[in-house]
Amino acid sequence: MLRTPLINVMTAAAQKAARGLIRDFGEVEHLQVSKKGPADFVSTADRKAEKVLFEELQRARPKYGFLMEERGAVEGVDTSNRWIIDPLDGTTNFLHGIPQFAISIGLERDGQIFAGVVYNPITDEMFVAEKGQGAFLNGRRLRVSARRDIAESLFATGIPFVGRGNHDLFLGQLRAIMAVSAGVRRNGAASLDLAWVAAGRFEGFWEQNLQPWDMAAGMILVSEAGGFVTDLAGGRNIFQRGDIAAGNDAMHPAMVKTLAGAKAAAS
């Protein structure tokens, strides 16, 4: 179990925000008939969840700053602590009635991610980690996968879509990974992909064109579960570059190397 005061604050906020998201998710399938309906409805659900998180976290830690998907940056009196929040990660899944989405709350302290909570309200899976304390799923200690053979390893990624990302680069990367691995999954919520690496379900995950709130909480989950997290070049500029590679100690370097080769082939 991980029940530090900080984790208690973060999980309580996530659970409170989840109640609204669960209600709204139940409604969304009824709205599929109207063309304009669902997208507007989901962005309202998103904003409502963000408001709950903002209010709860601000009440618990009044001096901390915020970086949020919808409201953007809110500077705090305490400039060394900042919440990095995605109230609804996996929006496209939510919109389509697919139960793979999460509330993601990271805490950045002195420029490093110090704690993270990723909560899937539908499966009731609460992933938590705090620096030096380990990573946990519903109270059970997490450890990244022990698989060391890439041919037995399962990878997650994000596929670019209309108007977003470099499609040729991605296809080169997919070609390289699919040729050597047990498979590639595209589940649609980056925070959960990272949580699932921490849980040992995926040996590796990579994606481009992400924002800090998609990644912050998941990054500490993976590192506290004994995994490696870098940008796609193997460096530390994850937020600046907006790309990420996460995996166990064997598959992280293997994946980064394979993807680097793919990049050269595509350009």
Positions touching Ca ion (CB under 5 A) are 86, 89, 214
What does the buried/exposed string (b/e) look like for 180-196 if buried means 16 or more CB atoms within 10 Å of the residue's CB?
ebeebeebbbbbbbbbb
> In this structure, are strands 183-185 and 154-157 parallel, antiparallel, or unpaired?
parallel
Minimum CB–partner distance for residue 148 and ligand 2AM (Å): 27
Residue 236 contact partner, candidates ligand 2AM, Ca ion, none, CB within 5 to 8 A by sort of partner: none
Number of residues assigned to the chain: 267
Residues β-bridged to residue 134:
130
Return the structure tokens found at 159: 């596929």
Binders of ligand 2AM in range 155-174 (CB under 6 A):
158, 164
Burial state string for 217-244 with b = 16 or more CB within 10 A and e = fewer than 16: bbbbbbbbbbbbbbbbeeeeebbeebbb
Q: Which stretch binds ligand 2AM (CB under 6 A): 19-27, 84-92, 111-119, 247-255?
A: 84-92
Look at residue 164 and give the partner it binds from ligand 2AM, Ca ion, none, a contact being a CB closer than 5 to 8 Å depending on partner kind.
ligand 2AM
* Residue 157: CB minimum distance to ligand 2AM, A: 8
Write the binding mask 20 to 59 for ligand 2AM: x where contact by CB under 6 A, - elsewhere: ----------------------------------------
Q: Is 138 exposed, middle or buried (0-12, 13-18, 19+ CB in 10 A)?
A: exposed
E strand or H helix that includes residue 64: strand 64-68
**Shortest-Cβ-distance residue relative to ligand 2AM:** 158
Write each residue from 192 to 211 as x if it is in contact with ligand 2AM (CB under 6 A), else as -, in one continuous string. Answer: ---------------x-xxx
Contact residues: ligand 2AM, CB under 6 A: 86, 89-91, 158, 164, 188-190, 207, 209-211, 214
